[in-house]
Amino acid sequence: MKIGILALQGDVEKHSHIISDLGLESMFVRYSDELNEVDGLIIPGGESTTLTKLMNKSHFHKPIKKFAEKHPILGTCAGMIMMSKNVNHHLVSPLGIMDIDVDRNAYGRQVHSFVDKLPVRLNGDTKTIAATFIRAPKITNIGKNVEILAEFNNEPCAVKQGQHIALSFHPELNNITLFHKAAFCNKGSLKQRESSYAA
Ligand code: GLN
């Protein structure tokens, strides 16, 4: 399992450490044809108007949408904004991979960034993690096929739809591996289960 990290801009390095902590290989993706070499994709935090510009320049929109039909994508912060269906800013062209609408910068400016404890429900288990919000987006509308994994002040901030996960915050800054694991390690554990049946 090789995981691509969209490396046009933003916080890419720390995601590669999490991926290697999980025993997976990672690769920085800078050109759309490199999507053919990976089995999953991380769209990291950064700045969604800049990400939009750079993605337009490198013709990433269509190839990522196609990639999403078969492969898991994890988006954090600006990555969540890019995965959404509608954004409250005309310079952002979201991919519409997840049935959510978002408001950019809805948790305030950079100086209002914060870390807080967040209970996360995943695979029937609840774990409390530290979550770092930096000029984070808020989900303002959510489709019925979207599962809420975590809420902050009763508002969803971690969501899952099919194989995709989108987060308002930055798990990589607190070495939180559970979302990367949930997005990218399922196939591995399936294989493991199959082989233990075979044995
Ligand atoms: N506010 C940024 C945006 O609108 C996202 C911030 C982040 O990724 N930490 O794109």
Residue 194 reports pLDDT greater than 50: no
**Model pLDDT for residues 70-115, shown as the tens digit of each residue:** 999 999 999 999 999 999 999 999 999 999 999 999 998 888 889 9
Domain extent listing, the chain? 2-189
Which of 77, 157, 164, 185 is an active site residue?
A: 77
For the domain covering 2-189, report its CATH number: 3.40.50.880
Residue 4 reports pLDDT greater than 60: yes
Query: 73-76 and 100-103: which strand pairing?
Result: unpaired
Which of 71, 170, 180, 185 is an active site residue?
A: 170
**Model pLDDT for residues 9-24, shown as the tens digit of each residue:** 987 999 999 999 999 9
What is the pLDDT, as a whole number, of residue 190? 41
What is the pLDDT, as a whole number, of residue 111? 80
**Model pLDDT for residues 173-187, shown as the tens digit of each residue:** 999 999 999 999 975
What is the pLDDT, as a whole number, of residue 11? 77
In the residue annotation, 170 being an active-site residue is answered as yes
In the residue annotation, 155 being an active-site residue is answered as no
In the residue annotation, 172 being an active-site residue is answered as yes
Which residues are CB-contacts of 115 (< 8 A; sequence separation ≥ 6)? Answer: 130, 131, 132, 133, 174
Give the whole-angstrom CA distance, residue 112 versus residue 62.
Answer: 35
Mean model confidence pLDDT for the chain: 93
Q: Mean pLDDT over residues 142-161, rounded?
A: 97
Pocket lining: 156 vs ligand 1, CB cutoff 6 Å: no
Please choose from 8, 15, 48 the residue to mutate so as to test ligand 1's pocket, defined by most ligand atoms within 8 A of CB.
Answer: 48
Residue 4: φ, ψ to 5°: -85, 145
Element (H, E) at 130: strand 125-133
Global pTM reads 0.93
Query: 125-133 and 114-122: which strand pairing?
Result: antiparallel
What is the pLDDT, as a whole number, of residue 109? 84
**Model pLDDT for residues 24-61, shown as the tens digit of each residue:** 999 999 999 999 999 999 999 999 999 999 999 999 99
What is the pLDDT, as a whole number, of residue 187? 58
Pocket lining: 47 vs ligand 1, CB cutoff 6 Å: yes
Q: Measuring CA to CA, which residue among 169, 183, 93 is closest to residue 138?
A: 169
What is the pLDDT, as a whole number, of residue 192? 41
pLDDT category at 135 given cuts 50, 70, 90 is: very high
Farthest CA pair distance, the chain: 56
Kindly tell me the burial class for residue 105, based on how many C-beta atoms sit within 10 Å of its own C-beta (0-12, 13-18, 19 or more): middle
Give the whole-angstrom CA distance, residue 74 versus residue 16.
Answer: 13
Which residues are CB-contacts of 126 (< 8 A; sequence separation ≥ 6)? Answer: 119, 120
Element (H, E) at 3: strand 2-6
